Structure formats: structure tokens, C-alpha cells
Structure 1
Amino acid sequence: MNIRSAWLLDSTSGEGGQSRIDTRLAPLGTMAPTGALTSRDGVIPGSPTGQFTLHGLWVFGDTAGMSAKVAPGRAIVQAADSAGAYPVYIPEYAGITFADGDPMNARVDLVVLRIYDNDQDASNQTTAVLEIVQGAPAAKPSAPATPSGAIALAEVTVPAGASAGNGGISWDSAVKDRRRATVAVGGIIPRGWGLNFDGGYPGQYRDTGTGLERWDGSAWKPYPERPVWQDYTPVWGQITAGLPPLKLGNGKLEGRYIKDGPVVHFRAKLTIGSTTDWGGPDRNGNWYLSLPVPPARNSTGSYRARIGDNTGGYFHGACEISASVAPGVARNWSTTDRNGRPSGDWGDADDPMPPLGNHPTIANWYEVWGTYEVVA
């Protein structure tokens, strides 16, 4: 089995130490760090056509029986902190054979790429090998733990009683890919086995398979970070000067918005309460509700209102999203007459009819909403 590692055998070993081709094929350089002296171990990504994230060191079976193959590929194996990381490559397809199944129960074996370094582990050998770590047979079997100085490549379920003589292992369903990817420091880590790992430093990126995430020092966050809807309390005011101030009393102001780059979507609502003082008849002051983020320019939004009692009704129209009034407001609430034509009055105070704050069953409210441009 031709498995090679750089910086493992020295020049005085019986195998001649590291060759020039070892140096060219082994993944050398500083890999994604997991600590001051440790690296993220895993398989180097890439495929001949660019179709797959991980092509190297794929475990598969293409004939019936108990033998499988491991595809050529490159990897980094992180041993103990003091031992460092070992660059490994397999230049050709390698065969592995599983022991026959237990007579009574299935088991899950673990295929690993493992480093033995006598100088570090007193194993009496210095080599890189493919190993099958045999699991314990059980009614509900699980894979064994990955040994120190090794990376997991695949879990393989060996059915009870399986052997080469009776068909062996069903390769289409028995293999569970355990490879994970590693890249050079600063690189984006591709999606591989599992996402349950911490980043090595703030500013590190990984690909989840559906998007990018950035490590912020304590957690992975979507990148770019997606905006979320949030609450805000709009200000209720009036454009016309010289009128009595508006008093909310036990009324209610509420709003929601989301800012996505240079665009804001918002909704703001005024509910009239029993102690709300809007000034009385003929006090139409061109009401407004403030915006959550100052707009870059004037534009148009939507407006509706529910005012009056059962003989009243709903009124729909438009509003101006105004950058002319600081800090940016939704004003000029327009309504329509029964014939559908715009009325000549703004929809506030007693136009088109006075709001009721003390009706026992019908809440009276005004609402504006829309989308507008902001300075990003």
C-alpha cells in the first residue's frame, strides 16, 4: 500500500527519507490554524472537473464482497500539539478489506488515515497507513472513536453474518462519508463532515453548502450578516405650525422595519386612545409618523386608516416618504372619495371623519408603510 508523508521519515531511515516527489505532492505550508501550534486536519478539497468539493480519499466499493477502495488524495493529519501536523498523500487507489460480520449483530467500522511516529508516540513504527478501526457488534451499533494521530474517512456498516461468500457489504448504503476539508490559512473552509466546530481566529470563513459564515471570535455568523426585522417607536407630529400639540395619551405608537443595505422596508401605526388629544374639529395639521432611518430622497408610500364607528369605514390611499422634514417622515396622507377620486384633504384629524378613541369595539387607527432608499 503506497501511502506517503512528508517530514516523517528522515534521511537515515531504511526507506530513504523524504523524496523530491514527496515534497511536490504532499500538502506543504501553513494550514488553517486551530491554535498557536496546531492545524485543522482534513482532506485537501478539489476534484478533476470541479464538480465535487472533496474527491480525494473517498472510500467506496465497486465489487461485491468485503473489500473497498480509497481514492488518491492529500490530507493533513494533526497529532498531539507537540508533534505537529503531518502532510500525507496517497498517489494511487488503495485497497482495504473488512473482517467478516459478527454472527448475531451488525457493527460500524471506521476507516482512518493514521500516522505512526515512533519519536512522538513510542509505537515502534514510523509510517502513514490506512486502517480499519473495528466497531463493537450491537443491536444499534455506533462507530468507534477516531484514534489520536488519525483522521476519519468513512464509517462502514458491516451487516451481521456478512462475508465474501454471501455477498459481503452493500456498498451503496453501507458507507457514511466522514471526510472533512482543510485549507491553507486564510482560505475558506469548504463544507465537509459536520459543521460542529469552532473557528480558529476571528475573520475566518467557511462554506456551509448554502452560503458563507464568518467566525466572530465566539460563534459562526452568516456572511454577509442578514438583516432582521426590528421594532421602533415612530414620532407622531404635524406639519402645520401654530396648532395645539398632539397628545398621545393612552393611544399607541408602534413600528417595524428592516434595513437591507440601501433599502428600508417599514410599517408604522398610530392607534387613537380614549385620552388621545388630536386637537378637535378643523385642526387638520397634516399629520406624520417618523421613519426609522432617514430617507435619501422623497418617494411614495402607502396609507390606510380605520376611523369612526360602524357607519365609518376603511380609507386607503398614499403617503409621501419625505426627506424634507427631519429626520424623515411619512406625511401627506391622502384618501379617496366614494367615487374613487382623491379627496382634497389629508387623512387626519376630522378628515374624512373624526377618529374615535372610546368606541367599545372598534379601534381607530392610521397606518403607513412602504419601501424607500437610504444612504447605505
Structure 2
Amino acid sequence: MSVRAAWLLPQGQTREDTRLAPVGTWSPETEIRTRDGVIPGGNPFAATGVDAMSLQIGVGRAVVQGTDPQGAYPVAVDAPETVKFADGDAQFDRIDSVVLHVYDSLFDQNGQALAAVEIIKGDATATPTAPTLPPAHLRLWDVRVPAGTSAGVGGIDWRSALADRRRFTVAAGGILPKGWGLAFDGAYDGQYRDNGGTLERWNATTRTWAAYQPPELPVETTNSGAVTATGWTMSSFDARRHRRTVQFIGFWSRTGATLPANPNIADTLIATLPAGWRPTLTVEALCSTGYGFGAAAIGSDGKVTLRSWAGGNKTNALEQGENVRVSATFVQ
């Protein structure tokens, strides 16, 4: 037995039926209905053409929803199933659907209790559409059968005829993977789905899917903790961090010896940034008096070291008493 359904047979449900069928997967669609669909994992119910008019459906698991009173049926296909298509209409194309069909004699007139992989034949028209499915059917694939198609004239071109109609379902609270068709409402406020790499959240008030935005992290600030080196006096220090991006600006006045502009100068320590406000790797900082300007390096140890100066005054040097603004932005 390759197609198994749990909670269907009045007697004789096997241990294998219960183990293989996805009995724990219930994603709500309404208060009483379950979202039917394929259980993700690998490539469930893969379709492969095996001859001119036959298609093989691979293994997989799914939930098939009947009417509201019926409820939903867990189904597993544990060995590939092959279905054969009827020849094409003489005049028009048609679209057939490959489905999982659950028969339940308590709710239908078929007198059976089983699950099957079947073809639901569409109407041949000038503008064919896929057939409408009754309850207890789950669409897996649509197949366009061109007019006049038969095994004798080459059969169905599986490369162009197949349309993937597998939609996915997961347990309540799980993120729905992207499958066929996105035009469906969510079931509850805060439900999530993957829209091809974009996480979307269902808003039950506006009844819309919206791209998920993570909560905005608070902005952190500090104006203390910087340690000023010998030869300098600090006027102010302010730092701001949002997420992992740090911005700071500090004003230091030169109290030590004049620093000549070559423009390269011997490394001169200005200050050390407080712990937690330092870069992961060495970054550059801009330095300026409003006239002259230079560059400093900020190491992972927080040390702000002046390395060059381009002057700006008469001597092109950084003289005692001049106020230097140091600013930088970096990602930690």
C-alpha cells in the first residue's frame, strides 16, 4: 500500500499508517478548518514523465481538508505512483490536475475509505482552465494536454506541460514556506509566511500580509568614559550607537609641545575610548581645527592616535592651545 491516510479507516489503521502520516501538522485556516497542503522537506510529490502519456508522482506527505464536518486527513505516499493521461481533445487543449483524493464513505457516495493519487480531467475549451476541485482533494500539479495529443504522435511534452501547484502547510506557529499561490488570507494575527526570501506577517486588523520589520532597537548614548592622554585636555566627548553602528565626536585642546606637520608625524595618543564603544578592527578618524586637518587611527583597544597633520596656520603645525575636533563612524 503506497498511499496511506490516518484517521480514515473505521478499522485496521496500521502502526505504519500512524507513523508515516503527518498527524501532528495542523495549521488553522478558520476556527474549524485546517490549511491543507504539502508538508515541506526535500522535494515532496515530485513529478517525472515516465512515458508519452504517463507521469510519476514521488513520495511525500500532506494534509487534505474535506468539508468542515469531515475535518482534515493526514496522507502519506511512501512509494512513487504513476498516473496516465487520456488523449487530447480533437479541437482544444485542456488542463488536467494531479491530486491527492481522500475517499470517505461516511461523507461521500463512493463507498470507500482510502486515499489515492488521481487525475481530475479538465474541460477542453479555447481558453482552458484547471478543474475546480471538490472537498477532500489537494491539487499537486496541473498538466496542459494539447489538442490531438496521444502516444502515437509523441505524447505530452513534460518540459512545458507541467505547472507546479503544490502549496505548503506547517504546524500552527510555523512559518509557511513559499509554494504555489500567495493570494490567501492568514488565519490569525501574527502568522508568518516566507514570500521568496521576504518574511511576511499577517495583520488581522487590516487583513493584509506585510513585510516583517524587526523591532527598532533603542539608541544608546554616552558622554563619559573617554580617557584623555598626556598633552591634551578634553572639552567634550559624545558618542551614539544604533544597532552596531557607533558615531562619536570629541574636542581636545593641545596642551603639550607643538606637533609639526610633515604631513606625517610621530604617532601621538590623544585619548582612549570607553570599553564597549570601540571598533572591532582599526578604523580611521578625521581631525580638524577648522583650519588645519589631519587623520587619526582608532584601534580595537580604543586608542585614538594622531598620525598626520596638514597644518592650516602660519607654521603648518598643531600648536599648543589649538582645539582639535575628532570624529568617526564605524560598525562594531
TM-score range, shorter chain: 0.5 to 0.7
Deviation, 1:103, is 1.3
Cα distance in 2 between the residues matched to 1:163 and 1:89 = 31
Residue type matched to 1:60 in 2?
T
State the Cα distance separating 1:156 from its structure 2 match: 0.2
- 2-structure distance, mates of 1:4, 1:297: 58
* 2:77 is equivalent to residue 83 of structure 1: no
> Which residue does the alignment assign to 2:209?
220
Report the TM-score, using the length of structure 1 for normalisation: 0.57
How far has the Cα of 1:36 moved from its partner?
A: 2.1
Whether the 8 Å CA contact 1:62–1:171 is kept in 2: the answer is: no
Q: What letter corresponds to residue 42 of structure 1 in structure 2?
A: G
The gaps in structure 2 that reach 5 residues or longer are: 221-241, 250-288, 293-309, 314-328
Aligned to 1:89, what secondary structure does the other structure show?
strand
Render the CA deviation track for 1:310-331: whole Å, top value 9, x for unaligned: xxxxxxxxxxxxxxxxxxxxxx
Question: In 2, Cα distance between the equivalents of 1:71 and 1:144?
Answer: 22
Task: From the superposition, tell whether residues 213 and 96 of structure 1 become closer, same or farther in structure 2 (CA, over 3 Å).
Answer: same
Structure 1 segment 225-374 matched on structure 2, within 5 A: 225=213, 262=219, 299=248
Pick closer, same or farther for the CA change 1:104–1:37 going to 2, 3 Å.
same
Root mean square deviation, CA, Å: 3.5
1:58 to 35, 41, 46: 46
Q: Paired residue for 2:154?
A: 167
Give 2:97's aligned residue. 110
Aligned length: 246
TM superposition outliers: structure 1 runs of 4+ over 4 Å: 259-263, 296-300, 334-337, 340-343
User: Would you say the 8 A contact 1:77–1:86 is kept in 2?
Assistant: yes
Aligned to 1:145: 132
**In 1, Cα distance between equivalents of 2:219 and 2:181:** 35
1:331 alignment partner in structure 2: none
Give, in whole Å, the separation in 2 of the partners of 1:76 and 1:86: 6
Unaligned ranges ≥5, structure 1: 12-16, 48-54, 228-258, 264-292, 301-333, 344-370
Partner Cα distance (1:133, 1:298) in 2: 64
> Match for residue 136 of structure 1?
123
Q: Secondary structure at the match of 2:106?
A: helix
Provide the rounded CA distance (Å) in 2 between the counterparts of 1:261 and 1:213.
Answer: 23
Paired position in structure 1 for 2:38: 43
Whether 1:3 and 2:40 are equivalent positions in the alignment is no
Counterpart Cα distance in 2 of 1:137 and 1:297: 65
Q: Return closer, same or farther for 1:57/1:336 CA change in 2, 3 Å cut-off.
A: same
| C-alpha displacement of 1:4 | 1.3
Distance in 1 of aligned mates of 2:219 and 2:15? 55
Residue 85 (structure 2) pairs with residue 98 (structure 1): yes
Letter in 2 for 1:23: T
Q: What SS does the corresponding residue of 2:17 show, helix, strand or coil?
A: helix
Name the structure 2 match of 1:277. Answer: none
Q: Which residue of 1 aligns with 2:54?
A: 67
Task: Please tell me whether the aligned partners of residues 72 and 92 of structure 1 are also in contact (alpha carbons under 8 angstroms).
Answer: yes
Distance in 2 (CA, whole Å) between partners of 1:145 and 1:130 is: 17
State the shift of 1:22 in Å. Answer: 0.3
- State the 1:216 CA deviation: 2.2
Distance 1:208 1:22 in 2: 33
Q: Give the whole-Å Cα distance in 2 for the aligned partners of 1:341 and 1:141.
A: 80
Q: For 1:22 and 1:297, how far apart are their aligned partners in 2? A: 58
How far did 1:159 drift?
1.1
* Percent identical: 47
State the one-letter code of the partner of 2:178.
Answer: R
Counterpart of 1:37 in structure 2: which amino acid?
Answer: I
Q: Is the 8 A contact 1:32 1:40 kept in 2?
A: yes
Shift of 1:211: 2.0
Alpha-carbon displacement from aligned partner over 1:182-222 (angstroms, at most 9, x marks no partner): 11111111111111111111121111111211122122221
Matched, 1:32 2:27: yes
Alignment of 1:113-124 (within 5 A): 113-124=100-111
- Structure 1 residue 194 and structure 2 residue 174: aligned? no
- State whether residues 107 and 159 of structure 1, in contact with CA within 8 Å, keep that contact through their aligned partners in structure 2: yes
Q: How far does residue 260 in structure 1 lie from its aligned partner after superposition?
A: 7.8
Q: What residue is the counterpart of 1:203 in the other structure?
A: 190
Indicate the SS of the match to 1:23. helix
User: Which residue of structure 1 lines up, in the alignment, with residue 324 of structure 2?
Assistant: none
From 176, 181, 184, give the equivalent of 2:163. 176
Q: Shift in Å at residue 125 of structure 1?
A: 2.2
C-alpha change, 1:140 and 1:206, in structure 2 (3 Å) is same
The answer to whether the 8 A contact 1:112-1:146 is kept is no
Q: Kindly indicate which of the two structures has a greater share of residues assigned to strand.
A: 2
Per-residue CA deviations over 1:132-162 (Å, capped at 9, x if unaligned) read 1111112322111122211100110111111
Query: Residue 83 of structure 1: CA displacement?
Result: 0.7
